[in-house]
Copies of this chain bind each other. A is one copy, B any other.
């Protein structure tokens, strides 16, 4: 890391800010340094499988529940269907939903049931990170190591994640959610451009702009809106899944660590800025956040409706429940997050 280096790679960034940036040519060094500063390995014992979810204590849930005033809900899930963004990269397809029985068959009395009974039934084939999802702690490794100092090859085999499978999260992810609409505070027409790196100052600026209900602290479930999904819906998916996008700067690792948030989610495919801030690197912030920090990352969330509501009533925090489908051994899992205000 060095000060005063080249600007963050944020073409068209409406609010360029000086920032401590990593050496573009040395992702390995920058990652190692950040990993050392931001590691939670051993913090909650050698057997820990929850990482930053340890910050989500019962009192945070009581605090979150107290935010329910109007009783309105917002689903933060995108759709799960063939109209999604996946294009086959790493064998990720969109969800394929097929029917085992249909109403057409029932209407035609093809089904053989008695007394006018008819039924429909269905199956789905989908990559677990095809749409709105949580990354589990077994999703990313750093030099062959998984979260909490475990060897990757002992944690995630062909049988799945034997240690930190997403089912270990159970129903824990319920608490105080906070939406930081960086797209609205910092961007143009509510959207950040592709390649825009959200740095700590942008986060702080947004918190300041949004007011007291946007305070972010220990145990919070932080939700970041960039506006990228709105653009994808308007202009088509294009390269959304794996393509250029605004997102968190690599340099936010320390802020994420120090704030002791329980989890973070964004409205983008990949959470961090793409292309990233190194000359040749792949998802470097993931490499710090998941295997070292033990941070739970949510991706491809739909924050449009919620952000519109928050902008109207000025209340940016809410009760958030986001329990992933507990596929045993999964390293990521679909979720239908629900914000209640």
Contact = CB atoms under 8 A, between A and B. Distances in A.
Interface of A: 27-28, 31, 57-62, 64-66, 68-77, 79-83, 88, 90-110, 113-129, 138-144, 146, 151-161, 167, 170-172, 174, 280-284, 286-287, 319, 321, 323-332, 334-340
A57 B71 contact: yes
Given A71-B57, A174-B338, A332-B122, A102 B157 contact: yes
Contacts of A60: 71
A155 to B, nearest CB: 5
Contact of A170 (B73, B125, B324): B73
A142 B107 CA distance: 9
Contact of A143 (B116, B124, B142, B154): B116
A171 B76 contact: yes
Number of copies: 4
Top 8 A-B residue pairs of the complex, sorted by shortest distance between their CB atoms: A58-B71, A103-B152, A75-B171, A103-B156, A118-B141, A65-B68, A61-B71, A81-B328
A97 B65 contact: no
A123 B115 contact: no
A123 B120 contact: no
A328 B97 contact: yes
B151 A107 contact: yes
A118 B144 contact: yes
A299 to B, nearest CB: 13
Contact of A119 (B82, B139, B170, B172): B139
Nearest to A324: B336
Contacts of A101: 90, 158-159
A311 B280 CA distance: 49
Contacts of A339: 171
Contacts of A334: 325
